Structure 1
């Protein structure tokens, strides 16, 4: 019934950037020590060792090299981490923010094992890195506040109306079998509506479509003739 895909914030997060694909299939495990020798990597037959991940930093860290230098417009950083909502047992992605508008440097994508002696599998062409641009300095410019909801009467009234409506809807679900799986959700946020049916933001997004990377310049540069980045499925 694809319950997860009915969660709009989750679906938007999954599509909110591009992924890089693993160039070769392999299995890996961490033996528990802090040294670089403590990560064991077993490549699939025929895999290119030059493009395979390595144990570079120690402490149970698995490192993927990113081929090429990423470039963004002036004032834009690149947020880099693991594919959203794509958890792996025994290993977790590490994240970073890079000033890619000026730096002529490559970066690595790192995953860290969460427990020793557990084999982790990465398939060929499986996403290992997720990235999207973000304005530099935006966090310094934001001024977060905490205030009672009573200070915003219209918001409080709308929230209470939604809470009562949701409780009544959930009770109705218990008493009545929905005709279709879609009938199990009110879908107000999904459709960009307030609890009373009024439209919310005029630019509400129920789907985003990041542009595909295109080849430019004097020659083809995609690794192995593939797209170096693509949108998540």
Structure 2
């Protein structure tokens, strides 16, 4: 069975009162990417794929946090501006760390962890997400999402509906199964040939780009990677141009 056809259960049990935070597949768009000149950032397929590579936990509140620059538990002042209780944001560790309680007990298949990280390619002025990996195939505990406030006396706001975390299932032990090996480019003539063809093609394209009427100028940007195509015309067998993560649905009682 291929990875695409394999159906893996991914469960979220709401552990609190009130409406649970919304869980949604990561969207392909990012506001800052759309705002770049001619929206050029949207030409970067690796960015677009990363944008979609997980599910977002959306804040049910509008929260403003200010760090006073000290290590005290009271160093973060938190203001819940909009949204119903129970509130998720707290100061639990001190040192300018803002903690969001995630009111779900997640269950992944045996052997799968959950990477809990900041929303991909969504920088936030004054706050840096702190990633964690949780063994959600057995743990009976919930977890938190933490952000390090990086600028004292600088208010940072998470709006209602804004992502506070991104969750990504990952197979436990898979990273450790890789055998890293450093080689010289010309140790593999075929790899070297393909790379040099790409490098020469790229150099020529950049040279011709400002020349009005040239093929590069008319194309505006190279699309080989977007189409999964090498300079010699070879097409990748398993190329992805977008992801299609499933939406969360309400399950039935077993």
Match of 1:16 in 2: 53
Change (3 A) 1:91 1:215: same
Q: Does 1:123 align with 2:138?
A: no
Q: Does 1:78 align with 2:119?
A: no
C-alpha contact (below 8 Å) 1:68/1:106 kept by paired residues: yes
Match of 2:126 in 1: 90
Match of 1:211 in 2: 246
User: Greater relative contact order: 1 or 2 (C-alpha under 8 angstroms, separation 6 or more)?
Assistant: 1
Change (3 A) 1:131 1:207: same
Q: TM-score, normalised by structure 2?
A: 0.81
Using the TM superposition, name which of 22-31 and 180-189 deviates more.
180-189
Q: Does 1:101 align with 2:137?
A: yes
C-alpha contact (below 8 Å) 1:29/1:119 kept by paired residues: yes
Offset from partner CA, 1:53-88 (integer Å, 9 cap, x none):
010111110000111201000000111100011000
Q: TM-score, normalised by structure 1?
A: 0.88
Match of 2:148 in 1: 112
| Number of aligned positions between the proteins | 217
Report the alpha carbon displacement of residue 180 of structure 1 after superposing the two structures with TM.
11
* C-alpha distance in structure 1 between counterparts of 2:125 and 2:218, whole Å: 31
Which blocks of at least 5 consecutive residues in structure 1 are unaligned? 220-233
Change (3 A) 1:179 1:188: closer
Which blocks of at least 5 consecutive residues in structure 2 are unaligned? 1-37
Secondary structure, aligned partner of 2:56:
strand
* C-alpha distance in structure 1 between counterparts of 2:172 and 2:136, whole Å: 10
Match of 1:151 in 2: 187
Secondary structure, aligned partner of 1:44:
strand
